[in-house]
Structure 1
Amino acid sequence: MRALIRLAGLFRPFRGWMLGGLALSSLTILANFWLMTLSGWFLAAAAITGLAGYAAQNAFNFFSPAAGVRFFATLRVGSRYAERLVTHEATFRLLARLRVWFYATLEPLAPAALQGFRSSDLLSRLVADIDTLNLFYLRVYVPVLSAIIATLIMTGFFALFSVQAALILLAGLVVTGALTPYLTGRAGRAAGRDVVRETAALRGEYVDAVLGMGELLTYGAAPALLERAARGNTRLLAAQAHLAKISGAGMAASGLTTNFALLAVTLAAGGKVAAGHLGTADLPLLALGTAAAFEAVAPLPAAFQYLGQILEAAQRIFAIADLPPAVPPLASPAPVLEHFALVLDDVSLRYAPGMAQALRGISLTIPEGGRTGITGPTGAGKSTLINLLLRFHEYQTGHASFGGHDLRTYDSAAMARYVTIISQRSHLFHTTIRDNLLLADGAATEAQMWQALEVAQLAGFVRAQPRGLDTMVGETGARLSGGQARRVALARAVLRPTPWLILDEPTEGLDATTEQDFLRDLAPLLEGRTVLCITHRAAPLALMQQVYALNEGRLVA
């Protein structure tokens, strides 16, 4: 239950909306309860009066009960409508809060602390598990608390007529609203967790299938993946079927309890009427009130079934949130830089205890305004060097300084103010060219964006599109060629003129002609900047002033 307490803490900023939805839900239940009790009494009293004769009919007040019936009927409709508005507004606000909070939690963990997770698994947690957590308010919080509130008020109302009937009603509501949900929740907890796990696993398989379809077909691995997905789907259907059986049993038990409670209240009230302790019209009041009272606890068996899924989703979310970042956030502001030289002195880095060193005794000086190229085969440690500079990973031995200050006095957020990266993996989001450019500078004007595109030699292409800057680039830039996608990254670098520019395999995947055109347009952006170029291709190194080779984590001139 600790996970639910943490979840409630995340929802605290919206407790006004949450309590508003709870109050309206309780009011709706009580309005229906009083509508049924008053209607039962009014109909019976009117019938008895009609049989009593003309004098009794003249003495009976038809207008006040009729007005009460209309009032509670109108109140029920109005409160139900308002409850839907408020609870759904609260739900959307809570959903936004959870997603923003989780994304903000993920950001300092990337990439180092998240390397052990599949991207599809992270996506499933960000989307599906957050959606499941959002069920806590609608499916658990509101039904449980409103049932408690309504139960206390309704049994108190029954006690005004018959303590025995009130105790019977209370017993029936406790069985239906507490015992049955507890039993169904306990029986379905494991299946609920299986549903969350199997759903996440299936999403992972399907994402891998879509993203790796070419490789799967090339190497004939598609049938094996389909078989794994089929087995996962079978397990998911089995868990869902088990939950459906438990849900059906819970509904049957609730219906049986309701009928027994109605029979017992009728018998108890009938004895009171026969003894003259209750009026004849009070019997249908208590009977119809009993039937209406169980509306308060009807959602609770399903609510406790959802609890297993919610707990599993919460544990998956908090398991990520509780991961320590590889480089902790700074406790105090980073030093202000006066220059931008980088000095590494005998620096070594390993990604985890027991693993081999990714960098071994690296010594490197990159002066402000210098251009340094690093070449080497795949796995030599080139990307590790970038991760070190960007403070994604912590080094263990040696000394590193940036701008004359210890590199450990900066975290990734502080380094991001000084460094821009142009990479073969510069991500393009499935949105417009305008939105992809605004990632570099959210305050950039349209004129600045066009200027950046001119420098990147992409303005002509964009102007030729019917929607100009509002042209959609497709998923990961699928509607652009490889060269055009790199030029969008160039335009971003123009909009974000940081002192440092890192080129991470900037021409990988480009043919020789496109590569030369790209490097020609890149050259003006290097002026006045400190440049680190990581590549295993020769052409980009021609723009550098000094070049080093990196092999098995060791650096040589």
Structure 2
Amino acid sequence: MKTFLRLTALVKPYFWWMALAALIGFATTGSGIGLLMTSGYIIAKAALQPPMSALQLGIVGVRFFGLARGALRYAERLLSHDATFRILTKLRLWFYDAIEPLAPARLMHFRSGDLLQRVVDDIQSLENIYTRVLVPPLTALFISALMWFLLGSYSIEASLLILFFHLLAGIGVPLLAMRLSRGVSVGIMKQKTVQQLLSLDLFQGIGELQIYGKLPEHLEAMRTAEADKLRLQRKNALIDGLHESLTGLLMNAAVVAILWALIPKLSTPDMNGISLTIVTLAVMASFEPFLPLPASLKHLEADTHAGERLFEILDAKPETIAPAAPLPFPKDPAIRAENLSFSYPGSPVKTLDSLSFETLPGDHIAIVGPSGAGKSTITALLMRFWNTPEGCLTIGGADIGRFDPEELRRNIALVSQRTYLFAQTIRENLLLARPEATDDELKKALAAAGLARFSSKLDEWTGQHGMKLSGGERQRIAIARMVLQNAPVMILDEATANLDGVTEKEVTETLAALGAGKTMITITHRLKAMDQYDAIVVLDKGKIVEQGSHEKLIQGNGLYRRMWELQHTMEPV
């Protein structure tokens, strides 16, 4: 219930839209009842062969209710769908605004397919809160009150009987359907999530599945998931058919009961054969708004489950938040770490252990070490993806936590070892760095990154995840973004790892020229052109084991020298 109340609170701004649509829905159903009643009146009255003038009221009623029913139905659908789409827009914007501060720290424990299911299907299912959960019970309640008042004018017994059968159709049948279908809607949603995960794994890892002979096993898991979903959907369809049959049975029982209550009154002035016909048709039509009620409870279960999955993410506290009074980014971005330690949540091992180093404005430093030494974690802390719980990390003398994360990231250009390209054109992928950039600026950035040949291909589609481009081309697109961003601090996290030797040398020289006058931190395990750096920090198992210039470190007998000799001895002549 708590989750449902939280979800309904999100659509509170659209209360009057929903109330108006519910009122029009009631008028639409009422027009359908009126149409049957006036039609029955004409047929029954005409059987007595009265003068045409005696049928005029019924004829006008049929025309009025017939036209009104169509017009009101259109207005109701227009209003309800407009309100629904507005609600969905609000929900999606609300979710994206809430989830963005959580990335990447709070989302690292979720699989991408599961996140996609929550972002797309779970939010989409919440549209049912309005159209299939909130409105149908209100419409049924209004119709039940209308019929109670209508039949009460003929017989108290008849009004109580229609109220009894409406209660059975509006409460008894939905509760029975909910009991029989408990877990079915949620099970279908879970199977869809499983299918999403399996499908994503198939598309992204089909090569590995084929190499290790696991493709048949994976396909069998997909077939099993589809079979389980179809089984639940068949059960759901059977329950739908059952509650529709029960509602029809109650409608027929109500007609018989009302006839039993009213037939004895045929001899009274208040009741005649025509009135009995009209009332009978009205009773039959009054059960129409009760048909969706069992589905409302099933949608309520599914929507509550979807809401719980969404709130599971959104209730997480962001790892980093903007301070109440953030500092502007300093003009002299000197970076200093002092006794900096960090451990990832759930890990007893320190990824960084008491690190201390410093870069002056305009310095170019390299952070090197074997894989797993903690090099990329330094990047994550500098970009404020994570907080710094132990030690101190400052920029321009101010603690990094005093900067707005967004402002900080606008002033630090990052080329990571994993470049992500959206399934858009080269132009749109570049404009992420600076949306107002002109075509000439885009071409200059491509040329600086060694992709001058792409200058005439700005509108070429890059493919899903940029798969139409090679790994080296994707990396150079990222470098072109960095050129466009023109930030005072540059971080290159294995930026040239996917380039061949000749291109790597060209790009390295270009980056060195572009970084003139800027603070540049290069994270790498490939020791190339190391004499260009003002200082080198050597990491091993989260600790700084050496630091100094290339000349100083190469003369020692530490890890740096061993890495240098190993790499350069293995290089082909």
Gaps of 5+ in 2: 548-573
1:523 aligns with 2:509: no
Alignment of structure 1 residues 227-376 onto 2, 5 Å: 227-352=220-345, 355-376=348-369
| In the alignment, structure 1 residue 506 sits paired with structure 2 residue 495 | yes
Equivalent position SS for 1:281:
helix
1:72 to partner: Cα distance: 1.0
SS, match of residue 117 in structure 1? coil
Distance 2:531 2:35 in 1: 85
TM-score by length of 2: 0.90
CA spacing shift, 1:71–1:483, aligned 2, 3 Å:
same
The 3-state SS of whatever aligns with 2:340 is strand
Unaligned runs of 5+ in 1: 51-55
| CA shift for structure 1 position 287 | 0.8
Answer yes or no: is the 8 Å Cα contact 2:443–2:455 preserved in 1: no
- Structure 1 position 161, deviation (Å): 3.1
Question: Structure 1 537/255 Cα, relative in aligned 2: closer, same or farther at 3 Å?
Answer: same
**Displacement, 1:245?**
2.5
Q: How does 1:401-416 map to 2 (within 5 A)?
A: 401-416=394-409
Secondary structure of the 2:536 match is strand
Paired-residue identity, % = 36
For residues 345 and 69 of structure 1, the distance between their equivalents in structure 2, rounded to whole angstroms, comes to 85
Separation (CA, whole Å) in 1 of partners of 2:348 and 2:220: 34
| AA aligned opposite 1:148 | L
How many Å apart are 1:381 and its aligned residue?
0.8
454, 472, 476: which one aligns with 1:487:
476
Label 1:540 to 1:489 Cα distance change in 2 as closer, same or farther (>3 A): farther
SS at match of 2:290: coil
Match of 2:528, SS state, is helix
The count of corresponding residues between Structure 1 and Structure 2 is: 546
Q: Is the 8 A contact 1:95 1:130 kept in 2?
A: yes
Within the candidate set 519, 541, 555, 1:552 is matched to: 541
Structure 1's 144 and 207: CA in aligned 2 closer, same or farther, altered over 3 A? Answer: same
Could you tell me which amino acid in structure 2 is paired with residue 488 of structure 1? I
| In structure 1, C-alpha distance between the alignment counterparts of 2:42 and 2:532, rounded to whole Å | 93
The one-letter code sitting in structure 2 at the alignment partner of 1:508 is A
Structure 1's 378 and 411: CA in aligned 2 closer, same or farther, altered over 3 A? Answer: farther
Matched, 1:37 2:37: yes
2:23 is matched with which residue? 23
| Alignment RMSD | 2.1
Give, in whole Å, the separation in 1 of the partners of 2:36 and 2:410.
66
- Give the equivalent residue in structure 2 for 1:536: 525
Aligned equivalent of 2:8:
8
Give the SS at the match of 1:421: strand
1:147 pairs with 2:136: no
Q: Deviations over 1:371-409 (max 9, x none)?
A: 111112221111211111111112222122122111222
**Which secondary structure state, in structure 1, belongs to the residue aligned with residue 261 of structure 2?**
helix
User: Could you tell me how far 1:323 is from its partner in structure 2?
Assistant: 1.0
Aligned to 1:57: 51
Q: Report the CA distance between 1:536 and its aligned residue.
A: 1.2
Q: Is 1:78 matched with 2:71?
A: yes
How far apart in 2 are the matches of 1:168 and 1:407?
A: 72
The 2-side partners of 1:447 and 1:283 are apart by: 83
Tell me the residue number matched to 1:53: none
Aligned equivalents of 1:376 and 1:84: distance in 2? 64
Q: Residues 262, 544 of structure 1: CA spacing in aligned structure 2 closer, same or farther, 3 A cutoff?
A: farther
Normalised TM-score (structure 1):
0.92
1:327-366, CA deviations, whole angstroms, 9 ceiling, x for partnerless residues? Answer: 2443333355242111110011111255211100010112
For 2:436 and 2:23, the matched residues in 1 are separated by 43
1:184-213 residue CA offsets vs partner (Å, 9 max, x unmatched) = 123313122211122112211111121111
The 2-side partners of 1:16 and 1:519 are apart by: 62
- 3-state DSSP of counterpart to 1:539: coil
Name the aligned partner's letter for residue 404 of structure 1.
G
User: What secondary structure, in the 3-state scheme, does the structure 2 residue paired with 1:213 have?
Assistant: helix
Distance 2:192 2:532 in 1: 50
CA contact (8 A) 2:38 2:59 kept: no
* Structure 1 residue 290 displacement after superposition: 0.9
1:483–1:499 distance in 2 versus 1, CA, 3 Å: same
- Cα distance in 2, alignment partners of residues 470 and 159 from structure 1: 72
SS at match of 1:174: helix
- Structure 1 residues 178, 118: closer, same or farther in 2, change over 3 A? same
| 1:88 matched residue in structure 2 | 81
Q: Distance in 2 between matches of 1:184 and 1:334?
A: 59
